[in-house]
Amino acid sequence: MTPRQPRHGASHPCAASQDIAGETAAPPSHQIDAPPVERVEELRREQTLLQTVVDSVDDLIFAKDLQGRFILLNRALREGCGLEVGSRTQDLFEPDLVRGYEGTDHQLVSTGKPVTADEIIPIRGEPRLFQTVKVPWVVDGDLCGVIGVSRDITARQAAEDAVRESEALHRSILEASADCIAVIALDGRLELINEPGRRAMGVGARAFTLGRQWIDLWTNRTKSKVADALDAARAGDAARFSAKRTDSDGIMRWWDVLVTPIKDPEGQVSRLLSICRDVSDSKAASLRLKWSSEHDALTGLANRSAFQARLEAAVKRATRTGASFGLLLLDLDHFKHVNDTLGHAAGDQLLRTVAERLQLGTRPTDVTARLGGDEFAIIVEQTAEEHALQRAGGAMAARLGQPVSIGGRSMSAGVSIGGALFPRDAATALELFNNADTALYALKASGRGGLSMFRHQMRERVERAASQLSVARAALHDHSLLPHYQPKVDLGSGQITGYEALVRWVHPTRGLQGPDTVEEAFKDYELASRIGELVRGSVVADIRGWLDQDVTFGRIAINAAPVEFLRDDYAESLLRQAADAGVPASFLEVEVTEHVFCERGTDYVARALRLLKREGVRIALDDFGTGYSSLAHLRDFPVDLVKIDRSFIQRMADDAEISAIISAVIGLANSLALDVVAEGIETDLQLRILREKGCSHGQGFLFGRAEAREMVGRPGFRMTGLSS
């Protein structure tokens, strides 16, 4: 702080000399009588006492006459500044200081009023800040000079400066903080709030805000939290809560609020401090993380974890209220071939479309989830009857069955659905899920498509199917799958015209096993494709070996499961394997069942068969007459021969209708110039009847069982009846 400068001194009273104002005093007009000796002594004693008193004071005490000479000094001033009675300020102080001192002296003399000024006075060479009070020295109504008292305020000023600096620092920190910082009186009124926080919370001008109840700044839904926090802080405890409110722009924001007590030196709570931090971004990130942890990233549906939690909650709620609800598990039919043929982007698009259709077809109270891959689930709330759940599932299947355009191609998302009801079918969430899964598995095992409700007898069939799939996977892993060959015979000449490659696998303890032990694997897209590729590779390798050894074997028939065509590269794969092994396509025959013409991907089947036929591969229609027969199949697909199923052959001797069907099939084939092969011939009677009906070829135990590749081309099967 810049000190005020003092004026220089005053003259001895009544002395005839130049005064502070620059004027000459008039000489006395009469002679004054000398005082008695006693009075002089008394005055001397009073002067001594006065000097003793002023010398005992730490403040600087002085008196100056109108000429600026010091006529009274206390010890502090004498020792601190080196002044003596009769000396003047300009004798000892710098000119700048003197001008300041004399300036206040002149102000006092000219106004006759006391003056207070802050002055810098060197004490023992060290500049110190003093606050000086100067008053007029008046004797008998005449101004004789200046009386002054200077108090050292250096330490006080430093402390005040420190306080101001600290206050400024705290204020700048307070105003620089993005948090809303407020001081609250014990009765809840706002006493202080920083500007950034006020703006962030949108609470209006500071003048309008101060004095208001802090609780009124919050929404009604939050006020109970605010009240609890205030009560806790008044009791001396810190309190914390989260709340949301709009800011000055009307944007809803989340706040993390801390309320703490402010205590006085005696430890009593005197005020409350509130710090509100905007945590909207972190809250949003937390909500996004929570959403991500509970939802499938691709479809936006609930994920498996969230679904399991919702299912558990639904079971608890239904148990408590006595209500019922249903569970539907959905599996897209042959979804993997979409990925394999069109790519994963197309598969993702199909999954998103399925998810959208599922959400459109469910109620807000239902829960729709993607469990993974192409598996979905729906918790159908407030469903007590099976027919209601079936109706919901049927509507869902119809909606999903509508064509989807992907990559310029139109396809339908066929779906298989398994359903179960709680508490009718299960007592726990896990049991309900497993039973709905059992129903789904049973449906897929019987041909896919539609909806199947859980029945307790399904468990055994599903467990058997699961066991077969497990066996098939193990056999693939151990490379124990291999083809065996059963001969096909010309029933007229008795000559072997070819062989059918049948899958066998080796059990570590039970030895050679037939395909019936892994039949479920041929309904599974992935397993059927892997087994088919393995068998085809083994067959062309065996053919190459026989050709190299000059073994006569005719044509080798390979069975193709319906799901193998869904990749849309069956023909190319087989022809490539044959070409790599140096095997002409004319040595191959592909057997397909009529199921391939009723499954999805009929276009793939037709294209594959035409390509194979064009390259010289013969096409056989297996199991003809077992329920899917249609003359259109013989017309629309490049079929070279039909095979009559063994179930007809076994019954024809005792069932006239069956016998008539066989005759009709043979006649139809002959009229279309197609070869006919009767499967499962085991007796001479069956052989004779077939020959009488004009059947050209046969296959069965009567002629030989399926044998290892080493037996091909060698005699060893029975020829009973062929010569009769």
Distance CA 236, CA 232 (A): 7
Q: Which amino acid is at 382?
A: Q
Query: 177-284 is classed in which CATH architecture?
Result: 2-Layer Sandwich (3.30)
Mean pLDDT of 689-715: 90
Q: What's the longest Cα–Cα distance across the chain?
A: 189
pLDDT (0 to 100) of residue 689: 95
pLDDT (0 to 100) of residue 11: 39
Query: 55-64, 522-531, 673-682: which has the minimum mean pLDDT?
Result: 522-531
Chain centroid offset of residue 89 CA: 82
Q: Is residue 175 pLDDT above 60, yes or no?
A: yes
Task: Return the higher-pLDDT residue of 617 and 276.
Answer: 617
Contacts of 28 (CB under 8 A, 6+ apart): 14, 16
Two tokens, residue 139 = 């004797």
Task: Return the higher-pLDDT residue of 459 and 295.
Answer: 295
pLDDT (0 to 100) of residue 24: 38
Q: Do 604 and 597 touch, CB atoms closer than 8 A?
A: no
Distance CA 475, CA 466 (A): 14
pLDDT (0 to 100) of residue 27: 43
Ranges of H-type helices in 549-655: 570-581, 602-614, 631-636, 646-651
Contacts of 288 (CB under 8 A, 6+ apart): none
Distances (CA, A) of 544 to 495, 531, 556, 586, 628: 22, 20, 12, 13, 36
For residue range 554-569, what is the model confidence (pLDDT) as tens digits?
999 999 888 788 777 8
DSSP for 62-105, written as a single string = EEEETTSBEEEE-HHHHHHH---TT-BHHHHS-HHHHHHHHHHH
Residue 174, exposed/middle/buried by CB under 10 A (0-12, 13-18, 19+)? middle
Using only C-alpha atoms, the chain has a radius of gyration, in whole angstroms, of 55
pLDDT (0 to 100) of residue 167: 65
Q: Is residue 516 pLDDT above 80, yes or no?
A: no
SS3 of 695, please? coil
Q: Which amino acid is at 388?
A: A
pLDDT (0 to 100) of residue 28: 46
Task: Return the higher-pLDDT residue of 375 and 478.
Answer: 375
Q: Do 121 and 136 touch, CB atoms closer than 8 A?
A: no
Query: 225-234, 280-289, 374-383, 417-426: which has the minimum mean pLDDT?
Result: 280-289
Q: Is residue 720 pLDDT above 60, yes or no?
A: no
Domain 469-710 superfamily per CATH: EAL domain (3.20.20.450)
Two tokens, residue 669 = 């084939």
Q: Is residue 719 pLDDT above 50, yes or no?
A: no
Residue with tokens 């942890």: 293
Distance CA 242, CA 353 (A): 39
Mean pLDDT, the chain, whole residue set: 83
Q: If you classify domain 6-157 with CATH, what class do you get?
A: alpha beta
Query: 341-355, 628-642, 668-682: which has the minimum mean pLDDT?
Result: 628-642
Judge if 6-157 and 177-284 fold alike in CATH terms.
yes
Distance CA 519, CA 472 (A): 9
pLDDT (0 to 100) of residue 1: 34
Distance CA 351, CA 333 (A): 12
Task: Return the higher-pLDDT residue of 48 and 235.
Answer: 235
pLDDT band per the 50, 70, 90 thresholds, residue 289: confident
Q: What is the distance between the terminal CA atoms of the chain, rounded to a whole angstrom? A: 138
Mean pLDDT of 639-652: 91
Residue with tokens 């849309």: 568
Q: Is residue 600 pLDDT above 70, yes or no?
A: no
Length of the chain, in residues: 724
Distance CA 217, CA 219 (A): 7
For residue range 335-345, what is the model confidence (pLDDT) as tens digits?
776 776 677 88
> What CATH number has the domain spanning 295-456?
3.30.70.270
Sheet holding 367-372, edge to edge: 367-372, 375-380, 325-332, 415-422, 450-453
Mean pLDDT of 635-662: 89
Residue 323, exposed/middle/buried by CB under 10 A (0-12, 13-18, 19+)? middle
Residues of the chain with pLDDT > 70, as a percent, come to: 85
Task: Return the higher-pLDDT residue of 390 and 459.
Answer: 390
In the chain, what are the domain boundaries?
6-157, 177-284, 295-456, 469-710
Residue whose C-alpha is closest to residue 488's, from 631, 618, 328, 664:
618
Contacts of 543 (CB under 8 A, 6+ apart): 553, 556, 581, 583, 587, 588
pLDDT (0 to 100) of residue 276: 87
Residue whose C-alpha is closest to residue 341's, from 540, 69, 153, 569:
569
